[in-house]
A = this chain, B = another copy of it.
Amino acid sequence: MSGNRALQKEKTRRTIIDAAFRLLSQERSYSSLSLREVAREAGIAPTSFYRHFEDMDELGLTLVDEGGVALRQLMRKARQRIRDKGLVISTSVETFMEFIHNSPHVFRLLLRERSGTSLAFRKAVSRELQYFVVELADYIQHTRNYPAGAAKLQADAMVILVFNAGAEALDSSLTERKLLTEKAITQLRFVAKGANEIFK
């Protein structure tokens, strides 16, 4: 069969990635994971790990990338919903909150590595966030006719506020999350309105 070998390899690779994600939680950060621990959880020998990743760092970057993919999918979903029923701000925030609820470990990884010890990780996360900022800035610039700089500033503030609300929502119950969503929406309205006043 064509690449039965490669196919099995890919499968094991996934097993490792999934194991790592499974180990991430409120009380376990990526940097606190050991290679042996991941191998154990994945059900392979420690030394087999090296057949798939050079390093724990390489695995980590892969996880961040996967997180990025999930985020971009989210973005697409949000655009879709906005097209369907308008309400840019509240739809965006709600979609984001949904994502955090569904994949808390992915979000937590991004959140932590954004201020982590590895420059490569920080850059990777920052790059993912920039996708949001740029896309949002574009949207603002074209629908509202803003100067590019002001649109970027506004988009940047919005992404930070939403991301932060997400961080708080991680630890909280459903009703608290609802409140945090409202809070973020209002704060984004402040920003939108204020930018509008100043750059009109």
Q: How far is the CB of A21 from chain B (nearest CB, A)?
A: 16
Which B residues are in CB contact (< 8 Å) with A193? 193-194, 197-198
With CB as the reference atom, state the residue of chain B lying closest to A122: B171
A56 within 8 A of B: no
Please tell me if the beta carbons of B187 and A198 are within 8 angstroms of each other in the complex: no
Instruction: Give how many A residues have a beta carbon under 8 Å from the other chain's beta carbons.
Output: 38
Which B residues are in CB contact (< 8 Å) with A196? 194
Contact check: which of B114, B156, B187, B189 meets A183 at CB < 8 Å?
A: B156
Whether A198 touches B191, Cβ cut-off 8 Å, given contacts A27-B117, A183-B153, is: no
Taken together as a complex, chains A and B put the C-alpha atoms of A193 and B28 apart, in Å, by 41
A39 within 8 A of B: no
Binds B, one of A5-13, A64-72, A74-82, A159-167: A159-167
Please tell me if the beta carbons of A164 and B167 are within 8 angstroms of each other in the complex: no
Which B residues are in CB contact (< 8 Å) with A190? 153-154, 157, 190-191, 194-195, 198
- 30 inter-chain pairs at a CB distance below 8 angstroms, sorted by A residue, are A26-B117, A26-B119, A27-B119, A29-B31, A29-B116, A31-B31, A31-B32, A108-B115, A111-B115, A114-B167, A115-B115, A122-B171, A153-B186, A153-B190, A154-B190, A156-B183, A157-B161, A157-B191, A160-B161, A161-B161, A187-B191, A189-B198, A190-B190, A190-B191, A190-B195, A191-B194, A192-B194, A193-B194, A194-B195, A197-B197
